[in-house]
Amino acid sequence: EVQLVESGGGLVQPGGSLRLSCSASGFTFSSYAMHWVRQAPGKGLEYVSAISSNGGSTYYADSVKGRFTISRDNSKNTLYLQMSSLRAEDTAVYYCVKTKYSYGPGPFDYWGQGTLVTVSS
């Protein structure tokens, strides 16, 4: 059974940093690109970041470029999102997401339960 379990969320002051983790199991983690999607309270879904299966290629939404860093440790089946210079508008539930296919573009077939990041003084 595929499981994605996020951790690391919490309350942080504006300008602060936080590192999210996503522990994956139930599939060959090293074969799949992985993604982060966020959802501000009461709002829609925003695609934040992605990383290729070997970590060699990354993507960032303009809203987080230069402030967030995605990485992965395939030996630990874990995905990370290092967030710095946090702003109030980064407040959201952050979901770790798996693509349906191990190659090429595809929909997201598994989502974690999400971890809440609140940026406030």
Q: Residues interacting with another protein, by CB under 8 A?
A: 35, 44-47, 50, 59, 95, 100, 105-109, 111-114
| C-alpha to C-alpha distance for 64 and 79, rounded to whole angstroms | 17
Q: Which residues pair with 8 in a beta bridge?
A: none
Measured from the CB atom, the residue of 17 and 101 that comes closer to another protein is 101
Q: Tell the smallest beta-carbon distance from residue 111 to another protein (Å).
A: 4
How many contiguous H segments (helices) and E segments (strands) does the chain have? 0, 11
- Residue-by-residue DSSP string for 34-62: EEEEEE-TT--EEEEEEE-TTS--EEE-T
Of the two residues 89 and 109, which places its CB atom closer to another protein in the complex? 109
Q: Residue 19 or 43: which CB sits closer to another protein?
A: 43
Q: Which two tokens stand for residue 43?
A: 């709002």
Cα–Cα distance measured from residue 58 to residue 70, given in angstroms and rounded to the nearest whole number: 7
CB 16, min distance to another protein, A = 25
The distance of closest approach from Cβ of residue 35 to another protein in the complex, given in angstroms and rounded to an integer, is 8
Please state the closest distance from residue 121 (CB atom) to another protein, in A: 27
